Amino acid sequence: MHVSHGNRLPRARKAAGTALAVSALLGAAITTAGPAAAAPKAAPRAPAAPADCSAAYKIEQTLDGGTTWRMCWHYNTNSGLILDKISYQPKGEPKPVPVLTSARLAQIHVPYDDGQNEYDDITGTDFGMRLQKLKASECPGGTIKTVKVPDGGNVPGLCTTTRARGHAYRLNNDASTGGTGKVYTAQGKDLLVYTVNKASWYEYITEWRFSSDGTITSNVGATGSLSPYDFDGGDGRGWPIGKGDQAKAESHSHNVFWRLNFGLDGSPKAKVEQYDSQVTPPNGSGSPKTKTTRTPVTKELMGDRKDMRWWRVVSTAGKNKDGHPRSYEIVPGASQKHSGRPFSKHDVYFTQYKKCEQYASNNLGCPDGYPNSVDKWSNGETLNHPVTWVNIGFHHIARDEDQQPMPVHWQGFSLAPRDVTAMNPLTPQDLSGVNGVPRT
């Protein structure tokens, strides 16, 4: 469906050509990941998590160091891929640690710089319906699962595989560290889960990575083609990408929103905290000092990034073996925030869970008259079951290289474990006693 802002209907977005190979995604071939693909029996239409998780909807992967990630997935005609019941079990944890109840895209807002077109690529195009069929070469070493797209047939479009991420750690335990001269080093691996959806001429790669060290990362990669109807950018609003000064591709933004419903230690109840550090210049010949303060976020919040500011979602139901409450820190990637709409003005939102609040703008599913964007839901209610919304923007000023196909541009964030385990979950046996003040 097409949804407009205000009275103006955006120009209808039309289908582009065939799927493009996403060769930029391909890394070195690595070991097989995930269970064998099986034809799913049915896919739920509703955004709610499926009650159960049969083999066809399960993703499980053990990585380096013995870390196992487990999750369920389902598919939604708006958001596309939705991951549910995500848990993390590093070596040494007796059972999986529940992390997220659900995680997914919540909008891709695309306003063009001249103010004539403004799209919501999740709820305003057929993004979910246009899941792309993946070629085997796009999922090296992995498994392509078949997705039953409601009203769209069976599409082999969900890749689960693993990918190397380089060093997990390195320590030369030499004399200076009181050690043996042994070098401890390990190469890390990620479980990678992704789909490609088409929204008009663009193709969006929705990628989730689950690392052996407990980090979760999601990125959206925009590729495909520039909109052929937006080559009329005026001065200061476009960039010539054909010969001479013709064909000024109009600049625009991609504001990508994610919705994260944490379920740390199996409980929807969680606390949110904001941290800010203040640097004081030196007095005379001294050195600068820095002081960090913690602000409990007890009411709904629209948060703005700032140097030395960060947020975490803290478990109320579980602690690690050091007695510290488990938490995940939100680590936004590079972002060019677009202040054009109240819902795009902030980098993170924490709202009290409401089932019908599913999309950051042009929300679907709430009763008539219910406010329809995340900024309106962040209105000061007490927060004890927080839903986290992350907004990462990219101002796309086209360049000659964008033809053709357009190189993938990534935008996203990470969730870093903070005190989920008492030590580095990948600590080698030799160093397992080094927790707290080291022996000297």
Site of interaction with Cu ion (CB under 5 A): 396
* Calpha distance 118→112 (Å, rounded): 6
280 by Cβ neighbours in 10 Å (0-12 / 13-18 / 19+) ranks as: exposed
Write down the least CB distance from residue 222 to Cu ion, Å.
Answer: 6
* Calpha distance 25→32 (Å, rounded): 17
Nearer to Cu ion, 132 or 372 (CB): 132
Write down the least CB distance from residue 419 to Cu ion, Å.
Answer: 38
Write down the least CB distance from residue 396 to Cu ion, Å.
Answer: 3
Nearer to Cu ion, 13 or 396 (CB): 396
* Calpha distance 129→33 (Å, rounded): 26
Tokens of 385: 């079951």
Nearer to Cu ion, 326 or 396 (CB): 396
Write down the least CB distance from residue 138 to Cu ion, Å.
Answer: 21
Write down the least CB distance from residue 319 to Cu ion, Å.
Answer: 44
Write down the least CB distance from residue 14 to Cu ion, Å.
Answer: 17
Helix (H) or strand (E) holding 208: strand 202-211
Alpha carbon of residue 103 to chain centroid: 8
400 by Cβ neighbours in 10 Å (0-12 / 13-18 / 19+) ranks as: exposed
* Calpha distance 21→90 (Å, rounded): 35
Nearer to Cu ion, 200 or 352 (CB): 200
Q: Which of 121, 126, 190, 419 is catalytic?
A: 121
Alpha carbon of residue 91 to chain centroid: 25
* Calpha distance 350→26 (Å, rounded): 35
* Calpha distance 403→406 (Å, rounded): 5
Q: Phi then psi for 376, rounded to 5 degrees?
A: -80, -20
Can 202 be counted among the known catalytic residues?
Answer: yes
Q: Which of 75, 202, 349, 359 is catalytic?
A: 202
Task: Give the C-alpha distances (Å, rounded to integers) separating 426 from 91, 307, 430.
Answer: 8, 30, 12
Nearer to Cu ion, 148 or 396 (CB): 396
48 by Cβ neighbours in 10 Å (0-12 / 13-18 / 19+) ranks as: middle
Q: Which residue is nearest to Cu ion (CB)?
A: 396
Residues 139/27, Cβ–Cβ less than 8 Å: no
Nearer to Cu ion, 153 or 407 (CB): 407
- Helix, strand, coil % (nearest 5) of the chain? 5, 45, 45
- Which residues are tagged catalytic? 121, 202
